[in-house]
């Protein structure tokens, strides 16, 4: 066990003194950890905490043996990338959207990917090359989800926090996305994903997947 990425007793109160969750888990390189629980149980909340978009009431996250607070927040979010449940597109073409992160100071060390490379990547997600010049705000829900996923893979995070990446997709495209993710995990060492999904097929698609169940606890008084 290398202790690549783990979280211990992450605690969050949905309202002060009320319903709360407490979750622990760990994921090793090349593997996927799934968060399971009914709708509203706090799966997205946990992913947002892991991305340091939300502050927990307690608990710790360790990445490569170091506590999360020893990383500056921007470095952390650059390495531990959260892909939200509702895909977010910005005004402009799909190409503009895929290039958008490369305008940020945090990614100045990464070259902007070329168009050919992007065409290959969107094809792997089941999208035609012509989509690159389409207005991103006119995409369908499933297309947006896949463009957002491609954008997330492009910035090469170490841990990908996936919030129902296949929710908008039919079975065929779903399998494409699963393959894309599996390949991404194998492509380089030291990559892992934490996945929220309601679909059993998603869970079966990843070998060595482990599951953490989330059950909110009611606290009286």
Ligand X SMILES: Nc1ncnc2c1ncn2[C@@H]1O[C@H](COP(=O)(O)OP(=O)(O)OP(=O)(O)O)[C@@H](O)[C@H]1O
For β-strands 66-67 and 58-63, DSSP reports them as antiparallel
- Candidates 95, 107, 124, 209: give the one binding another protein (CB under 8 A): 107
Site string for ligand X, 60-99 (x = CB under 6 A): -------------------------x--------------
- Candidates 15, 55, 171, 200: give the one binding another protein (CB under 8 A): 55
Q: Is residue 81 part of the contact set for another protein (CB under 8 A)?
A: yes
Measured from the CB atom, is 16 or 111 closer to ligand X?
16
Residue 219 zone, left/alpha/beta (φ > 0; ψ -120 to 50; rest): beta
Kindly state the tokens that stand for 190: 């030291």
The label of the residue with tokens 């009286």 reads 220
- Candidates 16, 39, 105, 114: give the one binding another protein (CB under 8 A): 105
Kindly state the tokens that stand for 27: 């994921």
Residue numbers 129-188 binding another protein by CB under 8 A: 155
d(CA 160, CA 136): 23
Q: Are 174 and 202 contacting, i.e. CB atoms less than 8 angstroms apart?
A: yes
- Candidates 22, 31, 45, 97: give the one binding ligand X (CB under 6 A): 45
- Candidates 6, 20, 36, 41: give the one binding ligand X (CB under 6 A): 41
Of 61, 64, 39, nearest in space to 50 by CA: 61
d(CA 5, CA 23): 14
Q: Which stretch binds another protein (CB under 8 A): 100-108, 131-139, 175-183, 211-219?
A: 100-108
Residue 77 contact, options another protein, ligand X, Mg ion, none, Cβ 5-8 Å cut-off depending on partner type? another protein
d(CA 70, CA 90): 32
Q: Is residue 113 part of the contact set for another protein (CB under 8 A)?
A: no
Angle between helices 115-124 and 171-187 (to 10 degrees): 130
Of 35, 41, 26, nearest in space to 202 by CA: 35
**What are the residues binding another protein (CB under 8 A)?**
51-55, 73-75, 77-78, 81-84, 86, 88, 90, 100-101, 104-107, 155
Binding site for Mg ion (CB under 5 A): 44, 85
Question: Which residues here bind ligand X, judged by CB under 6 A?
Answer: 14, 37, 39-45, 85
């Amino acid at each position: 066990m290398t202790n690549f990425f783990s979280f211990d007793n992450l605690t969050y109160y949905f309202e002060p003194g009320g319903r709360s969750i407490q979750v622990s888990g760990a994921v090793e390189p090349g593997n996927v950890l799934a968060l399971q629980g009914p709708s509203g149980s706090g799966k997205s909340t946990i992913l947002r905490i892991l991305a340091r978009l939300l502050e927990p009431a307690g608990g710790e996250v360790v990445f490569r043996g170091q506590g999360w607070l020893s990383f500056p927040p921007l470095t952390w979010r650059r390495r531990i990338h959260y892909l939200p449940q509702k895909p977010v597109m910005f005004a402009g073409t799909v190409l503009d959207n895929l290039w958008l992160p490369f305008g940020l100071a945090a990614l100045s060390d990464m070259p902007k990917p070329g168009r050919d490379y992007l065409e290959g990547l969107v094809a792997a997600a089941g999208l035609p090359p012509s989509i690159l010049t389409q207005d991103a705000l006119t995409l369908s829900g499933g297309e947006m989800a896949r463009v957002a996923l491609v954008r997330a893979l492009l910035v090469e995070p170490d841990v990908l926090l996936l919030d129902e990446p296949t929710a908008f997709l039919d079975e065929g495209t779903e399998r494409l996305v699963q393959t894309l993710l599996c390949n991404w995990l194998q492509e380089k060492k030291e990559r892992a994903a934490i996945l929220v999904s309601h679909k059993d097929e998603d869970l079966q698609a990843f070998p060595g997947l482990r599951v953490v169940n989330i059950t909110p606890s009611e606290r009286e008084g």
